[in-house]
A and B are shown apart, each in its own frame.
Chain A
Amino acid sequence: MSAVVVGAAPGKVGAPEALAGIFWARFVRHRPAVISALMIALLGLASIFAGAIAMRDPLRIDMSHKFAPPLAKGHLLGADELGRDVLSRLLHAGRISLTVGFAAMAVTVIVGAVLGTLAGYVRGAVDTVLLRLTDAMLSFPPIFMLLALAAFVRPSLASMTVIIAVTSWMDVTRMVRGQILTLREQEFVTGARGLGASGARIMARHLLPNTVGIIAVAATLSVARAILLESYISFLGYGIQPPLASWGNMLNNAQSYFATAPWVAIFPGVMITLAVTSFNFLGDGLRDALDPRHVRSRS
């Protein structure tokens, strides 16, 4: 998505505490975002305490429980094709999917912020090169890129994270660049330059902190995207490999069983939708809180 929010209120940069207060006030007015934040916290806790909640080993095979329906034989959400407990697999898969989501987000955000700041501040040749590079990457349809990459490497948590990050940094770069372009003309920057501050110092101490808002929005949305992408690749068979469970590969295994054991296929899909929706709403809420007027600017 290339809609960009011009972060700080137009005009001047006010005192940080006052801004934070305004930000929070706007945020809590956005009800879906608040609900989503709670949902995410819940999912996070459930993943961390997956072992305690589920009380069953997600890898334990018991063929006598094969395809047990929900509420049968002690499986709250049923059992899969190897008799493994769906609920515990779901929670442990959540761990994997959320970890990939957050890790990919971290890499995406770091790369995007650095490149975006460089491009936006330094401008000139560096900017042109980075812009064209970004454009080139954006011209690869994401799934094509993902599939090509995933089919060629040994799938693992780390490789998934890298692959997803590689296809996601571009949006963050553009958003940050747009923000930097606006900020660099402002008084505090020209003032710092006049005082002899080096480019690096300006970028690190003055510009970057003011992009936190944008980055937060971008980060949230990128987690959503990452979870979705991970599920796509795992579904196609190139992502997280069994017996480790991720929401995506649980669906891959399950598509043959729709007719016989639909619960195996329905629950992971519901979880993905729930998680991704929450992150999307959260990102929306953050964006609204930063600036209620959506201003679209093309970099």
Chain B
Amino acid sequence: MGVEGLKQYFARRVIQAVVVLGLVSLAGFSLLHLAPGGPAAIYALSPTMSAEDLDRITHELGLDRPIHVQYLSWAKGFLSGNWGRSYRDGRVVLEVIADRVPATVVLMLSAFSVALLLGLASGIVSAVRQYSLFDHLATLGAMVALSIPTFWLGLMAIYVFSELLHTLPPGNIGTVGAPFALADRLRHLILPAGTLGVVMVATWSRYTRAAMLDVIGEDYIRTARAKGVTQGRVILRHALRNALIPLVTLAGLQLPLVFSGALVTETIFTWPGMGRLFVDSIGYRDYPVLMGILVLTATLVILGNLVADLVYAAIDPRVRHS
């Protein structure tokens, strides 16, 4: 066993990941193209367009070719780094997406970090003081946080903090038309990151609590206590370190949910990220951009899963044979 088994496992999982990615792209492509409506629809109501113009535009985009031809042509291009051009403005898809990635990354990372810190802290305290008032309140709070529709929370937050209290801006990445200022940017980040982070805090808090409880009951913790190690050190050095392992897998698995949350948050807070791009592209039926975003997020999710699986496999040899 050991390293060899791990390498084989890794190789197998990578191959499977590639297959999955292929399936995802095929499913996504078929879905988009077989559905009603098309990219020429946005011009349909314009007074200067005729039906021939619309047909011509559809033809120029290659949309009247049989679907398998279109898919193969897309796939070939994709694998060689050419993700195609946007139907909306002819821009290179890679560029269109790359332009929007930074904003989403900033949002997700801030939400993630805050959620992580608060969630871990809350989970640890809950575990250590199990069944206390704090624990009960935290559990209730976490449950409610998981159940609130994020967009509603966001709208309420905007209403309270922006319209009623006038303390925070109602959206945007920074003050419009003003030059870049860090403080200004941070102020604009608070509400969106907070809204996005609420759900994550809840999940992290509950899992940390559960993982810590698992670990705290273990023998080696009792041994450490018997040896006279102080409570604080027991928690932080022994319990937490071991509880972190399953939490790593959780982090990997959270990725798709975070993307989803980011999409809604970006819409409400006028945040110029990838989620917003996705919604707009759906409206325009901008297939190349949609495929690009789909494959990108699917890759990230699969990578996240892969890393989580690898970490788990490294610890638990039984898993390698699954």
Direct contact of A and B (CB under 8 A): yes
Whether A294 contacts B210 by the Cβ 8 Å rule is: yes
Q: Which chain A residues border B20 with CB–CB below 8 Å?
A: 132, 135-136, 139
Within the complex, the shortest CB–CB distance from A287 to chain B, in Å, comes to 11
Query: Which residues of chain A in 254-275 are interfacial with respect to chain B, using CB atoms and an 8 Å cutoff?
Result: 255, 258-259, 262, 265-266, 269, 272-273
Query: Which residues of chain B in 276-322 are interfacial with respect to chain A, using CB atoms and an 8 Å cutoff?
Result: 278-279, 282-283, 290, 293-294, 297-298, 301-302, 305, 309, 312, 319, 322
Whether B260 contacts A144 by the Cβ 8 Å rule is: yes
Interface flags for A180-222 (1: CB within 8 Å of B; 0: not) read: 0000000000000000000000000000000000000000000
Once A136-B24, A255-B155, A294-B214 are accepted as A-B contacts, the answer to whether A281 and B143 lie under 8 Å apart by CB is yes
Q: Which chain B residues border A3 with CB–CB below 8 Å?
A: 207, 210
Once A232-B264, A298-B319 are accepted as A-B contacts, the answer to whether A269 and B156 lie under 8 Å apart by CB is yes
Query: Which residues of chain B in 31-81 are interfacial with respect to chain A, using CB atoms and an 8 Å cutoff?
Result: 31-32, 35-37
A20 contacts chain B at the CB level, 8 A cutoff: no
Whether A140 contacts B35 by the Cβ 8 Å rule is: no
Q: Report the bound CA distance from A262 to B163 in whole Å.
A: 12
In-complex Cβ contact of B35 among A135, A153, A236, A299 (8 A): A153
Q: Which chain B residues border A265 with CB–CB below 8 Å?
A: 152, 155
Whether B151 contacts A251 by the Cβ 8 Å rule is: yes
Q: Report the bound CA distance from A135 to B303 in whole Å.
A: 12
A246 contacts chain B at the CB level, 8 A cutoff: no
Q: Which chain A residues border B264 with CB–CB below 8 Å?
A: 143, 232, 236
Once A144-B260, A231-B149 are accepted as A-B contacts, the answer to whether A136 and B23 lie under 8 Å apart by CB is yes
Once A140-B24, A142-B260, A152-B36 are accepted as A-B contacts, the answer to whether A224 and B298 lie under 8 Å apart by CB is no
A28 contacts chain B at the CB level, 8 A cutoff: no
Q: Which chain A residues border B272 with CB–CB below 8 Å?
A: none
A157 contacts chain B at the CB level, 8 A cutoff: no
Whether B23 contacts A133 by the Cβ 8 Å rule is: yes
Q: Which chain B residues border A156 with CB–CB below 8 Å?
A: none
Within the complex, the shortest CB–CB distance from B188 to chain A, in Å, comes to 20
Which of B116-124, B173-181, B251-259 faces chain A?
B251-259
Q: Which chain A residues border B302 with CB–CB below 8 Å?
A: 135, 139
Closest residue on chain A to residue B316 by CB atoms: A298
Q: Which chain A residues border B32 with CB–CB below 8 Å?
A: 148, 152
Within the complex, the shortest CB–CB distance from A111 to chain B, in Å, comes to 16
Whether B297 contacts A144 by the Cβ 8 Å rule is: yes
Q: Report the bound CA distance from A201 to B244 in whole Å.
A: 42
B223 contacts chain A at the CB level, 8 A cutoff: no
Q: Report the bound CA distance from A288 to B32 in whole Å.
A: 42
A147 contacts chain B at the CB level, 8 A cutoff: yes
Within the complex, the shortest CB–CB distance from B241 to chain A, in Å, comes to 17
Interface of A is mostly: helix
Whether A269 contacts B149 by the Cβ 8 Å rule is: yes
A161 contacts chain B at the CB level, 8 A cutoff: no
Interface size class of B (residues with CB under 8 A): 35 or more
Within the complex, the shortest CB–CB distance from A130 to chain B, in Å, comes to 12
A235 contacts chain B at the CB level, 8 A cutoff: yes
Interface size class of A (residues with CB under 8 A): 35 or more
Once A135-B305, A235-B151, A269-B149 are accepted as A-B contacts, the answer to whether A148 and B159 lie under 8 Å apart by CB is no
Within the complex, the shortest CB–CB distance from B162 to chain A, in Å, comes to 10
Q: Report the bound CA distance from A32 to B135 in whole Å.
A: 13
Within the complex, the shortest CB–CB distance from A137 to chain B, in Å, comes to 8
A124 contacts chain B at the CB level, 8 A cutoff: no
In-complex Cβ contact of A141 among B152, B207, B301 (8 A): B301
Q: Report the bound CA distance from A235 to B148 in whole Å.
A: 14
Q: Which chain B residues border A248 with CB–CB below 8 Å?
A: 149
B236 contacts chain A at the CB level, 8 A cutoff: no
B263 contacts chain A at the CB level, 8 A cutoff: yes
Whether B24 contacts A139 by the Cβ 8 Å rule is: yes
Whether B147 contacts A132 by the Cβ 8 Å rule is: no
Within the complex, the shortest CB–CB distance from B83 to chain A, in Å, comes to 17
Whether A147 contacts B278 by the Cβ 8 Å rule is: yes
Whether A228 contacts B143 by the Cβ 8 Å rule is: no
Whether B143 contacts A280 by the Cβ 8 Å rule is: yes
Within the complex, the shortest CB–CB distance from A274 to chain B, in Å, comes to 8
Closest residue on chain B to residue A247 by CB atoms: B149
Whether A147 contacts B282 by the Cβ 8 Å rule is: yes
Closest residue on chain B to residue A128 by CB atoms: B16
Within the complex, the shortest CB–CB distance from A34 to chain B, in Å, comes to 14
Closest residue on chain B to residue A146 by CB atoms: B260
B106 contacts chain A at the CB level, 8 A cutoff: no
Q: Which chain A residues border B36 with CB–CB below 8 Å?
A: 152
Interface flags for A139-181 (1: CB within 8 Å of B; 0: not) read: 1111110011101110000000000000000000000000000
Q: Which residues of B contact A (CB under 8 A)?
A: 16, 19-21, 23-24, 27-28, 31-32, 35-37, 139-140, 143-144, 146-149, 151-152, 155-156, 158-159, 163, 207, 210, 214, 246, 249, 253, 255-257, 259-261, 263-264, 267, 278-279, 282-283, 290, 293-294, 297-298, 301-302, 305, 309, 312, 319, 322
18 contacts between A and B (CB under 8 A): A132-B16, A132-B20, A136-B20, A138-B301, A140-B28, A140-B297, A144-B293, A147-B282, A152-B35, A248-B149, A258-B159, A258-B163, A269-B148, A276-B148, A280-B143, A284-B143, A298-B249, A298-B322
Known contacts A232-B149, A298-B322; 18 further A-B pairs (Cβ under 8 A):
A3-B207, A132-B19, A132-B20, A135-B20, A135-B305, A140-B28, A141-B257, A144-B260, A147-B278, A147-B279, A152-B32, A153-B35, A231-B149, A235-B151, A236-B264, A265-B155, A273-B149, A280-B146
